Amino acid sequence: MPNQAIDLFYKIENPDKIIIMFVFNACASLGTSEALDLTKKTLEKMPKTFYSDSYILCSVLDALMKCGDVKYAESIYKSSTTKALPMYGAMMK
């Protein structure tokens, strides 16, 4: 199922917050190096306004942690101005 979500993501030209959050969740489910690459690429292309959304940030942190990039997850967590409780949980996994 995560692979299908990622395949659909590639077909969407301008994904909104929900679609991007689903992609991060799919990447977290896979936990592979390819999923990590997609997470980072999506994060780079994501509009900066999305960074204030705690749901998206939580999904990003979850994907990064489950794909094994703890340092990058920590840097995003520390730079976040809005820290929600689920973000703490994502960092503990």
Task: Count the neighbouring beta carbons within 10 Å of the beta carbon of residue 87.
Answer: 22
84 in Cβ contact with 58 (< 8 Å): yes
- Measured distance CA(24)–CA(64) in Å, rounded: 9
Task: Read off the pTM.
Answer: 0.89
pLDDT digits 0-9 by tens, 54-91: 899 999 999 999 999 999 999 998 888 877 778 877 88
Task: Count the neighbouring beta carbons within 10 Å of the beta carbon of residue 47.
Answer: 11
- Measured distance CA(93)–CA(90) in Å, rounded: 6
